[in-house]
Amino acid sequence: MKDSDIRRVVLSEFNRAYKDDPDTLIIEELGLCQGEARVDIAVVNGSIHGFEIKSDQDTLKRLAGQIAIYSRVLDFITIIVGGEHFDAALSMIPSWWGVIIAKEKSGQVQLKYKRKGKRNPSLDPMAVVQLLWREEAYKILKDHALHKGLVNRPRAILWNKLVEHMPSDELSTLVRSIIKSRANWRSDCKQA
Protein backbone atom coordinates (compact mmCIF):
# COMPACT_ATOMS: atom_id res chain seq x y z
CA MET A 1 0.00 0.00 0.00
CA LYS A 2 1.53 3.27 -1.15
CA ASP A 3 0.96 6.91 -0.24
CA SER A 4 -0.97 7.36 -3.50
CA ASP A 5 -3.36 4.51 -2.61
CA ILE A 6 -4.16 6.10 0.75
CA ARG A 7 -4.39 9.60 -0.74
CA ARG A 8 -6.90 8.47 -3.37
CA VAL A 9 -9.22 7.03 -0.68
CA VAL A 10 -8.88 10.08 1.59
CA LEU A 11 -9.57 12.53 -1.25
CA SER A 12 -12.55 10.48 -2.36
CA GLU A 13 -13.99 10.60 1.18
CA PHE A 14 -13.39 14.36 1.47
CA ASN A 15 -14.90 15.10 -1.94
CA ARG A 16 -17.97 13.10 -0.98
CA ALA A 17 -18.24 14.66 2.49
CA TYR A 18 -17.82 18.26 1.32
CA LYS A 19 -19.40 18.12 -2.16
CA ASP A 20 -22.32 20.34 -1.10
CA ASP A 21 -20.21 22.73 1.00
CA PRO A 22 -19.13 25.78 -1.04
CA ASP A 23 -17.18 27.03 1.99
CA THR A 24 -14.64 24.18 1.85
CA LEU A 25 -11.50 23.97 -0.26
CA ILE A 26 -9.39 20.81 -0.46
CA ILE A 27 -5.73 21.44 -1.27
CA GLU A 28 -3.06 18.86 -1.99
CA GLU A 29 0.53 19.65 -0.99
CA LEU A 30 -0.11 22.95 0.79
CA GLY A 31 3.21 24.71 1.36
CA LEU A 32 3.81 26.01 4.89
CA CYS A 33 6.32 28.41 6.43
CA GLN A 34 7.52 29.72 3.08
CA GLY A 35 7.98 26.25 1.64
CA GLU A 36 9.81 24.64 4.58
CA ALA A 37 7.27 21.81 4.43
CA ARG A 38 4.16 20.71 2.59
CA VAL A 39 1.22 18.98 4.22
CA ASP A 40 -0.20 16.21 2.03
CA ILE A 41 -3.83 17.38 2.15
CA ALA A 42 -5.40 20.45 3.71
CA VAL A 43 -9.12 20.97 4.19
CA VAL A 44 -9.82 24.69 4.50
CA ASN A 45 -13.18 25.90 5.80
CA GLY A 46 -13.78 27.25 9.33
CA SER A 47 -10.30 25.94 10.14
CA ILE A 48 -7.27 24.60 8.31
CA HIS A 49 -7.07 20.86 8.94
CA GLY A 50 -3.92 19.20 7.66
CA PHE A 51 -3.61 15.50 6.90
CA GLU A 52 -0.16 13.91 6.69
CA ILE A 53 0.11 10.45 5.11
CA LYS A 54 2.82 7.99 6.14
CA SER A 55 2.28 4.72 4.30
CA ASP A 56 4.19 1.58 5.20
CA GLN A 57 6.50 2.35 2.27
CA ASP A 58 7.39 5.78 3.71
CA THR A 59 9.87 6.49 6.46
CA LEU A 60 9.36 8.69 9.50
CA LYS A 61 12.71 10.51 9.02
CA ARG A 62 11.07 13.86 8.24
CA LEU A 63 8.23 13.57 10.75
CA ALA A 64 9.92 15.45 13.62
CA GLY A 65 10.52 18.48 11.36
CA GLN A 66 7.01 18.25 9.94
CA ILE A 67 5.55 18.15 13.45
CA ALA A 68 7.35 21.39 14.34
CA ILE A 69 6.17 23.22 11.21
CA TYR A 70 2.62 21.87 11.05
CA SER A 71 2.09 22.68 14.71
CA ARG A 72 2.87 26.34 14.02
CA VAL A 73 0.33 26.77 11.20
CA LEU A 74 -2.53 24.27 11.16
CA ASP A 75 -5.64 24.47 13.35
CA PHE A 76 -6.04 20.68 13.35
CA ILE A 77 -3.68 17.94 12.20
CA THR A 78 -4.33 14.27 11.57
CA ILE A 79 -1.67 11.75 10.69
CA ILE A 80 -2.72 8.80 8.54
CA VAL A 81 -0.32 5.92 9.06
CA GLY A 82 0.17 2.41 7.82
CA GLY A 83 0.19 -0.25 10.50
CA GLU A 84 3.99 -0.55 10.48
CA HIS A 85 4.41 3.08 11.56
CA PHE A 86 1.53 3.31 14.03
CA ASP A 87 3.44 2.85 17.31
CA ALA A 88 6.46 4.91 16.26
CA ALA A 89 4.33 7.76 14.91
CA LEU A 90 2.11 7.76 18.01
CA SER A 91 5.18 8.13 20.22
CA MET A 92 6.35 11.17 18.19
CA ILE A 93 3.26 13.28 17.58
CA PRO A 94 1.66 15.71 20.05
CA SER A 95 -1.33 14.43 22.02
CA TRP A 96 -3.67 16.88 20.27
CA TRP A 97 -3.02 15.40 16.78
CA GLY A 98 -5.62 13.04 15.36
CA VAL A 99 -4.61 9.56 14.23
CA ILE A 100 -6.04 7.38 11.45
CA ILE A 101 -4.63 3.95 10.63
CA ALA A 102 -4.69 2.80 7.00
CA LYS A 103 -4.85 -0.91 6.32
CA GLU A 104 -5.27 -2.92 3.16
CA LYS A 105 -7.96 -5.56 3.12
CA SER A 106 -8.90 -7.54 0.02
CA GLY A 107 -7.00 -5.05 -2.14
CA GLN A 108 -8.88 -2.05 -0.70
CA VAL A 109 -7.54 0.69 1.56
CA GLN A 110 -9.55 1.00 4.75
CA LEU A 111 -9.24 3.91 7.16
CA LYS A 112 -9.92 3.57 10.86
CA TYR A 113 -9.99 6.54 13.24
CA LYS A 114 -7.85 5.79 16.28
CA ARG A 115 -7.79 9.22 17.92
CA LYS A 116 -9.82 12.32 17.25
CA GLY A 117 -7.69 15.43 17.01
CA LYS A 118 -8.10 18.55 19.11
CA ARG A 119 -7.60 22.20 18.20
CA ASN A 120 -3.99 23.32 18.03
CA PRO A 121 -3.18 24.99 21.38
CA SER A 122 -0.26 27.08 20.08
CA LEU A 123 -0.64 28.58 16.61
CA ASP A 124 2.12 30.97 15.57
CA PRO A 125 0.45 34.04 14.00
CA MET A 126 3.54 34.76 11.91
CA ALA A 127 3.51 31.26 10.42
CA VAL A 128 -0.23 31.57 9.68
CA VAL A 129 0.13 34.95 7.98
CA GLN A 130 2.90 33.55 5.76
CA LEU A 131 0.17 31.66 3.89
CA LEU A 132 -0.76 35.03 2.35
CA TRP A 133 0.68 36.27 -0.91
CA ARG A 134 2.22 39.75 -0.80
CA GLU A 135 -0.70 41.50 -2.51
CA GLU A 136 -3.18 39.78 -0.18
CA ALA A 137 -1.28 40.96 2.89
CA TYR A 138 -1.15 44.49 1.51
CA LYS A 139 -4.91 44.48 0.82
CA ILE A 140 -5.66 43.52 4.43
CA LEU A 141 -3.40 46.31 5.66
CA LYS A 142 -5.09 48.78 3.31
CA ASP A 143 -8.57 47.62 4.36
CA HIS A 144 -7.58 48.29 7.99
CA ALA A 145 -5.83 51.61 7.25
CA LEU A 146 -2.46 50.14 8.24
CA HIS A 147 -0.80 50.42 4.83
CA LYS A 148 0.84 53.87 5.02
CA GLY A 149 4.41 53.70 3.68
CA LEU A 150 4.17 50.02 2.79
CA VAL A 151 3.18 50.04 -0.89
CA ASN A 152 6.57 48.77 -2.15
CA ARG A 153 7.80 46.99 0.95
CA PRO A 154 8.62 43.25 0.92
CA ARG A 155 6.05 40.75 2.12
CA ALA A 156 7.98 39.99 5.33
CA ILE A 157 7.47 43.58 6.47
CA LEU A 158 3.77 43.38 5.59
CA TRP A 159 3.42 40.13 7.52
CA ASN A 160 5.12 41.69 10.56
CA LYS A 161 2.78 44.69 10.44
CA LEU A 162 -0.26 42.39 10.29
CA VAL A 163 0.91 40.33 13.26
CA GLU A 164 1.75 43.45 15.29
CA HIS A 165 -1.57 45.21 14.71
CA MET A 166 -4.27 42.57 14.32
CA PRO A 167 -5.70 40.02 16.76
CA SER A 168 -4.56 36.47 15.94
CA ASP A 169 -8.09 35.07 15.66
CA GLU A 170 -9.17 37.77 13.23
CA LEU A 171 -6.02 37.29 11.18
CA SER A 172 -6.53 33.50 11.00
CA THR A 173 -10.11 34.01 9.82
CA LEU A 174 -8.96 36.43 7.12
CA VAL A 175 -6.21 34.08 5.95
CA ARG A 176 -8.66 31.19 5.56
CA SER A 177 -11.15 33.39 3.73
CA ILE A 178 -8.51 34.65 1.32
CA ILE A 179 -7.14 31.18 0.60
CA LYS A 180 -10.64 29.93 -0.22
CA SER A 181 -11.37 32.90 -2.51
CA ARG A 182 -8.20 32.81 -4.64
CA ALA A 183 -9.22 32.85 -8.28
CA ASN A 184 -5.81 31.85 -9.61
CA TRP A 185 -5.06 29.03 -7.19
CA ARG A 186 -3.21 25.93 -8.40
CA SER A 187 -5.22 23.64 -10.66
CA ASP A 188 -5.02 20.68 -8.26
CA CYS A 189 -7.14 22.40 -5.62
CA LYS A 190 -10.75 21.40 -5.49
CA GLN A 191 -13.67 23.41 -4.31
CA ALA A 192 -15.69 20.71 -2.62
Domain edges within the chain: 3-121, 125-181
For residue 184, the model assigns a pLDDT of: 65
3-121: CATH topology: Trna Endonuclease; Chain: A, domain 1 (3.40.1350)
SS in 3 state form for the chain?
A: CCHHHHHHHHHHHHHHHHCCCCCCEEEEEEEECCCCEEEEEEEECCCEEEEEEECCCCCCCCHHHHHHHHHHHCCEEEEEEEHHHHHHHHHHCCCCCEEEEEEEECCEEEEEEEECCCCCCCCCHHHHHCCCCHHHHHHHHHHCCCCCCCCCCCHHHHHHHHHHHCCHHHHHHHHHHHHHHCCCCCCCCEEC
For residue 182, the model assigns a pLDDT of: 86
pLDDT block averages, 10 residues each, the chain of length 192: 92 94 94 95 97 94 96 98 93 97 92 95 96 96 95 95 96 95 61 48
